[in-house]
Structure 1
Amino acid sequence: MSPSTATFNASKLRRTVLEMAYAGSTVHIACAFSIIELLAVLYRSHLRYPDNDPEHAARDFLILSKGHGVMAQYACMLERQWLSRHDIENYFSDGSLLKGLSDSRVPGLEVTSGSLGHGFSVGVGLALAAKLDQTGQRTFVLLGDGELNEGTIWEAAMFAAHHQLKDLTVLIDANGFQAMGKTEEVIDLGSIESKFISFGFETMSVDGHDEAQIHARLEALRNSTSRAPKALVARTVKGRGVSFMEHDNRWHYTRLDAESYARAIQQLSEGKA
């Protein structure tokens, strides 16, 4: 499949994530699954990569601040042909360039993230540079809801609103969990929408697994005449697509064995995702 005809099919992307996780005997499957549709829509319809070059000077920027969800991004990068099947099949093996967290040494990944709370600030800096240089480049930052516990998130939000970074869009993966439990039990976030509105962002909500709705909201934010930065709060399901992973936070750190891998692949193959 050429980059121009890539469909970024959600079930196919989830299968790639499973293949990587099983090959590398690694974790963070559920938190990759919750952002599949968000990334599919971004890569299909909203991110510009002239000449399909992930390092093109005129590209748009995607910052995966929740860097532990990187397998979902790797799956999209395979569709773009920036990665090969060899990369996927040898994920996390000795000598592999692909790590379990976002690493800026990999073309297509803009930041080294995983230490949560920092990617947003990088995105704000890129958006400010694009505004000053009048390049028209857009910057998208994907945050986890648990990541909003970090104070640096809100410092970056104030800065973005002050500088009217209208081409900055923050997407929040609001799946209700973080590594150690439910977000409402670790630190209750209250209304995420109200928080971003109060920090000066034009803010919308969306079903984070409805691709048509995601696209429509992103288009509405893009076409807005407001000079405020944008926020899209996506209500998602951690582990979405495999029934025994959904809403089960053990799959933040659980590894696949042969039986669970086969069951998960079968569900995706049968269209039960």
Structure 2
Amino acid sequence: MFWISKYGFTHLSYKAVYSFQSLRLFVLFRIVDPFMHFLFFATLASALVGSDYLNFVVIGNIAYYTCHTMIINFMNMFRMERRFGTLELNIASPTPTLYIIIRKAIVPLLDGLFVFGVGILIGRWLFGISFPLSEIGNLLVLFVITLFSVLCFSLLFACVSLLFSNVNLFLNLALAVFQVFCGVNFSVTLLPNSLEFFSRLLPLTHSIEALRTIYGIEAFSVYSLLMKEFIVGICYLVLSLILVSVMEKAARKKGALLKSI
């Protein structure tokens, strides 16, 4: 079976991304690490501005940590492909490259789903952030659109990462940009107009505002925010498809993607 076979595509993709982890260690890491991340920022916010601001920060960091996980997974997947020489095999395969990438995206997608669910549970049981059962439909729609938007950006970022021999610097810069400009710990409306405009071009910004609205922390139009997030995701998807197509044609023409790396 596709999902449970030891030699199935999903299982092999999982082993490629998490070759150093067992399933037990993966589950443990995905619970302890987000727990410490949320606890740190919640404690910092409470110490600086009081506990009334705690829910605002925790909800923002739940969305951010999901995005953080997916970006790292996608980039690592492409980096491992290049390191072990299988990137060229994907290009040479008769199967469309985009189809291969989409199938491999199942693992980061499931990982993001797990992290988001864990974040919601930690917010409920550790910080007492009540889960809005009446808004569960909107929450599911938000989750799907957010993962789509972040997945499209992750694909674009992973493709760009192939242009550099060491992507850790760019990864840290990208995560820092998301942390500051997506309204994770404060509202983007506090930014100057030019920077707020930039933040609206990033995935996650509208999703964080929508998630806080669902939890009753902010008052925006959820559907308007989700539509904007979906449009942002479509734009990144188009850019990703163009970049994948250009890189594939260059690889087929030169016989290698980037000989200098």
TM-score normalized by the length of structure 1? 0.27
Q: As a proportion of its length, which structure holds more strand?
A: 1
TM-score normalized by the length of structure 2? 0.28
Q: As a proportion of its length, which structure holds more helix?
A: 2
